[in-house]
């Protein structure tokens, strides 16, 4: 089995907003403390829909990386890189494309959805059709077993799993696999080898799952095996051959409920955002001009918080006791809407303060950001190269 690893990417779409912070980045900051994490800028994915207008991608990339760092993503804990700087992604994408049935791509739910949603663009392109496969290559190249996604993205992970399975089925049977696996068993030492064989028989002949789990535990304990032998032994155990690409798992994340300035979900396409590093004046101005309960026309009219978009932001930024006082004030017309908006403004500014401070360091010295990315690209490339060596070898492309 391969090491636990989290992979997540984001398209460079310009300055990130508080919806990104609450929906994705806060989660990344937590994940980086628990697992080895790889976070990448999906600039090739941006090209699948912006192929006719790529000029902004570079600036959007650097702005976005600064936003990640501002949110607390820590380059000492996680690896940050740019997809196109690790060209092995493209190689794996190409090789996988040889064995991917066209129907699998056409069936991906977002393919038709996105085409309809972005009907102003011609998306009948090879790149757009292949984007789930590029996404699968992004994941499989790092043998990432944990991919944080929302419910709607689960089919993409399932697609990546199917691709991995198909690949392993087609190319996992290296020549002389059985002999090499038997040789690897001997390397376990006689006592462990006997136990391994016994557990393997119990699993393969009697289907005992506990035997399989026990055998995994035995292999996990052993330090001296090479990666190739380890994979052979896992494959031999299950009768599947060598596992070259690991099947990824979805790490389900709760959908962000971060409301925008109009009460809909915060999104650039609704023009209802506050960016993570929006200036203090602009935050105050935007919140002050937010619509409120439409029945509250005059200051003396009582209101209903349930009908007010500002109230949704209070759920994020205000404590329960303050909310109780404000609700009472709204319902009795004891407070005006400007008074009610003030704690939201303060809450946002408080949240943004450490982000602004962290970002300033990188804005003052952009070389720092470039170095973080150069370093991350190199680390990511090392992992990608390792997988590609196995992939090429299994497909007969190593040319010794
Ligand atoms: S008092 Fe607050 S909750 Fe009530 S309508 Fe005004 S902004 Fe909305």
Tens digits of residue pLDDT in 335-392: 999 999 999 999 999 999 999 999 999 999 999 999 999 999 999 999 999 999 999 9
Tokens describing residue 134 = 């590029």
How many angstroms separate the CA atoms of 172 and 239, rounded? 11
291 contacts 262 by C-beta, under 8 angstroms: yes
The pLDDT value recorded for residue 257 is 78
Say if residues 149 and 251 touch (Cβ distance below 8 Å): yes
User: Is 164 close to ligand 1, i.e. is its CB under 6 Å away?
Assistant: no
Give the nearest ligand 1 atom to 329 CA: 1
- Looking at residue 252, what DSSP letter applies? E
Least confident of 38-42, 94-98, 215-219, 299-303: 215-219
How far is the centre of ligand 1, averaged over its atoms, from the C-alpha of 269 (Å)?
A: 25
Nearest to 233 by CA among 292, 277, 273, 193: 193
Q: Is 303 in the pocket of ligand 1 (CB under 6 A)?
A: yes
Supply the pTM of this predicted model: 0.84
22: pLDDT confidence band, cut at 50, 70 and 90? Answer: very high
pLDDT of residue 206: 80
- Does residue 349's CB lie within 6 angstroms of at least one atom of ligand 1? no
What are 392's two structure tokens? 């090429």
- Ligand 1 pocket: which of 261, 286, 288, 296 to mutate (most atoms <8 Å of CB)? 296
**What is the model's pLDDT at position 120?**
77
pLDDT reading at 1 higher than 60 = no
Give the pLDDT confidence score for residue 123 in this predicted structure: 83
- pLDDT value, residue 196: 95
**Integer Cα distance of 111 and 113 in angstroms:** 6
- Residue 37 confidence (pLDDT) above 60: yes
How far is 136 from 369, CA to CA, in rounded Å? Answer: 27
Ligand 1 atom closest to Cα of residue 340? 2
The response to whether residue 345 sits with its C-beta less than 6 Å from ligand 1 reads no
User: What are 179-190's pLDDT values in tens digits?
Assistant: 889 999 999 999
pLDDT at 335: 96
Helix (H) or strand (E) holding 209: helix 209-221
Give yes or no for residue 157 CB within 6 A of ligand 1: no
For the residues 66-88, what does the mean pLDDT come to? 98
Classify residue 318 by its DSSP letter.
S
Ligand 1 atom 6 nearest Cα: 337
Which single residue is written with the structure tokens 């064989």? 197
Rounded mean pLDDT of the chain? Answer: 92
Higher pLDDT pick, 111 / 160: 160
In the prediction, which pLDDT does 2 show?
64
CA 96–ligand 1 middle distance (angstroms): 55
C-alpha closest to that of 132 among 155, 151, 165, 116: 155
Least Cα distance to 9 among 86, 109, 99 occurs for: 86
Q: What is the model's pLDDT at position 28?
A: 97
pLDDT digits (tens, 9 = 90+) for 323-335: 999 999 999 999 9
14 exposed, middle or buried (CB, 10 Å; 0-12, 13-18, 19+)?
middle
What is the atom index within ligand 1 of the atom nearest the CA of 296? Answer: 5
What is the predicted pLDDT for the residue at 237? 86
Taking only the tens place, the pLDDT of each residue in 240-274 is: 767 789 889 999 888 777 999 999 999 988 999 99
Task: Report, in this order, helix, strand and coil percent for the chain, each rounded to 5.
Answer: 65, 5, 30
Higher pLDDT, 200 or 269: 200
Edge-first strand listing for the sheet containing 249-252: 78-82, 37-41, 6-10, 146-149, 249-252
Ligand 1 center–CA 342 separation, angstroms:
11
- Whether the CB of 311 sits within 6 Å of ligand 1: yes
- Tell me how far apart the alpha carbons of residues 245 and 269 are, in angstroms, rounded to a whole number: 37
pLDDT digits (tens, 9 = 90+) for 126-172: 999 999 999 999 999 999 989 999 888 888 999 999 999 889 888 88
Residue 71 has pLDDT above 70, yes or no: yes
β-pair partners for 147: 250
Ligand 1 atom closest to Cα of residue 311:
3
Let me know if 110 is exposed, middle or buried by CB neighbors in 10 A (0-12, 13-18, 19+).
middle
**Is residue 330 lining ligand 1, measured as CB closer than 6 Å?**
yes
- pLDDT at residue 74 above 80? yes
Which of 337, 341, 342 has the most ligand 1 atoms within 8 A of CB, as the residue to mutate?
A: 337
């Amino acid at each position: 089995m391969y090491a636990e690893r989290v992979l997540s990417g984001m398209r460079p779409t310009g300055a990130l907003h508080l919806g990104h912070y609450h929906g994705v980045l806060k989660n990344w900051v937590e994940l980086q403390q628990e697992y080895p994490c790889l976070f990448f800028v999906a600039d090739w994915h941006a090209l699948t829909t912006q192929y006719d207008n790529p000029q902004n991608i570079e600036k959007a990339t650097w702005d976005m990386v600064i936003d990640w760092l501002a949110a607390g993503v820590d380059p000492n804990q996680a690896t940050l890189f740019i997809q196109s700087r690790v060209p092995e992604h493209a190689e794996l994408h190409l090789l996988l494309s040889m064995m991917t049935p066209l129907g699998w791509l056409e069936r991906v739910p977002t393919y038709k959805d996105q085409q309809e949603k972005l009907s102003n663009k011609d998306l009948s392109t090879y790149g757009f059709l292949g984007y789930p496969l590029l996404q699968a290559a992004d994941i499989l190249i790092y043998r990432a077993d944990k991919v944080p996604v929302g419910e709607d993205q689960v089919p993409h992970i399932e697609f990546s799993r199917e691709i991995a399975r198909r690949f392993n089925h087609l190319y996992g049977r290296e020549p002389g696999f059985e002999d090499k696996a038997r040789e690897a068993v001997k390397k376990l030492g006689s006592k462990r080898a006997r136990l391994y064989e016994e557990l393997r028989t119990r699993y393969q002949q009697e289907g005992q799952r506990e035997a399989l789990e026990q055998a995994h535990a035995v292999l996990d304990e052993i330090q001296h095996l090479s990666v190739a032998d380890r994979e052979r032994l896992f494959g031999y155990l299950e009768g599947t051959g060598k596992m070259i690409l690991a099947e990824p798992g979805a790490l389900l994340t709760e959908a962000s409920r971060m409301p925008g300035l109009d009460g809909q979900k915060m999104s650039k396409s609704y023009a209802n955002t506050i960016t993570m590093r929006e200036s203090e004046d602009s935050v105050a101005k935007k919140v002050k001009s937010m619509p409120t309960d439409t029945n509250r026309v005059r200051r003396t009219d009582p209101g209903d918080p349930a009908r007010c978009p500002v109230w949704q932001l209070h759920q994020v930024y205000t404590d329960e006791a303050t909310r109780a006082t404000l609700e009472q004030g709204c319902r009795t017309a004891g407070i005006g809407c400007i008074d009610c908006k003030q704690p939201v403004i303060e809450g946002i500014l408080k949240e943004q303060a450490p982000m602004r401070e962290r970002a300033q360091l990188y804005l003052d010295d952009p070389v720092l950001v470039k170095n973080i990315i150069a370093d991350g690209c190199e680390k990511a490339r090392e992992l990608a190269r390792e997988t590609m060596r196995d992939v090429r070898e299994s497909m007969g492309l190593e040319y010794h």
